[in-house]
Amino acid sequence: MSVTQIRPNMDHWRERVDLAAAFRWTARLNMHEGVSNHFSLSINDDGTKFLMNPNQVHFSRVKASDMLLIDANDPETLKGPDAPDPTAWGLHGGIHRHCAHARCAMHVHSVHATVLACLKDKMLPPLDQNAAMFYDRQVVDDAYGGLAFEEEGERCAQLFDDPKKKVMVMGNHGIMVIGDTVAETFNRMYFFERAAEVYVRALQTGLPLAILPDEIAAKTADELEAYPEQDIRHLAELKAILDEENSNYSQ
């Protein structure tokens, strides 16, 4: 059954399905962290109400109907049986309260991006075409302060003050990727991890690196940002594969 034929009595169903597909594919790529890490998606105009994965459920099992509906301005959020993970509330709540341009937010501890986050110089250089996508579009947090409870989450959210910069390399932690849609954000997260892997493997050779010149990196970043529909088609293909496998992600 295709996702377009499923119509449960829930609001924001297509958004839930897109999120569920992103969780499933992130697990398949081994970019998950067991039952930790979270994705969120705003569903109101000011961005303060958002969908998010349930507490302590493995990415490979998340379904569309599982998504929690969270109000970032509700102090009672952490009470009750469907409360989110406290660190998810701290980090994603802070982002959706303070960054209206962050409609979708994806936080992972994927291996190569986290290796980058553990280096003294945490900025991903424009080593290849994928890495050039992020030229002048990253922010680095060098002030890790422990688990992302509310105060730490608020601090991290303030670093997304430039709407152009949509990847945060969270020092000694992982990455946070933001965007307008699930498709856009997942695509950005995917390619950042791919670029980080190339960079880490290049460093392992011990040979000099051929970093792209700034003007070429900037030109490539602009071209990739304007490239038509890659993010939409990427997620659509992943959902098509899951549908062909009779996955229950869209239930």
- pLDDT surpasses 70 at 87: yes
The pLDDT value given to residue 8: 59
Rounded to whole angstroms, how far apart are CA atoms 132 and 150?
33
DSSP sequence for the chain: --GGG---S-SSHHHHHHHHHHHHHHHHTT--BTTB-EEEEE-STTS-EEEEPPTT--GGG--GGG-EEEETT-TTTTSSTTPPPHHHHHHHHHHHHH-TT-SEEEEE--HHHHHHHTSSS-PPP--SHHHHTTTT-EEEE----SS--HHHHHHHHHT--STT--EEEETTTEEEEEESSHHHHHHHHHHHHHHHHHHHHHHHHTSPP-PPPHHHHHHHHHHHHTSTTHHHHHHHHHHHHHHHTT-STT-
More confident residue, 65 or 154: 65
- The fold for domain 3-244 equals L-fuculose-1-phosphate Aldolase (3.40.225)
Average of per-residue pLDDT values in the chain:
93
Would you kindly state where each structural domain of the chain is located, as residue ranges? 3-244
Q: Identify the residue with better confidence: 238 or 81.
A: 238
Q: Among 156-160, 195-199, 201-205, whose mean pLDDT is lowest?
A: 156-160
Write down the pLDDT at residue 6: 53
Percent of the chain with pLDDT over 70: 96
Confidence of residue 88 (pLDDT cuts 50, 70, 90): confident
Question: pLDDT for 51-79, tens place per residue?
Answer: 999 999 999 999 999 999 999 998 788 88
Condensed to tens digits (0 to 9), the pLDDT of residues 104-125 reads: 999 999 999 999 999 999 999 9
Is pLDDT of 1 > 90?
no
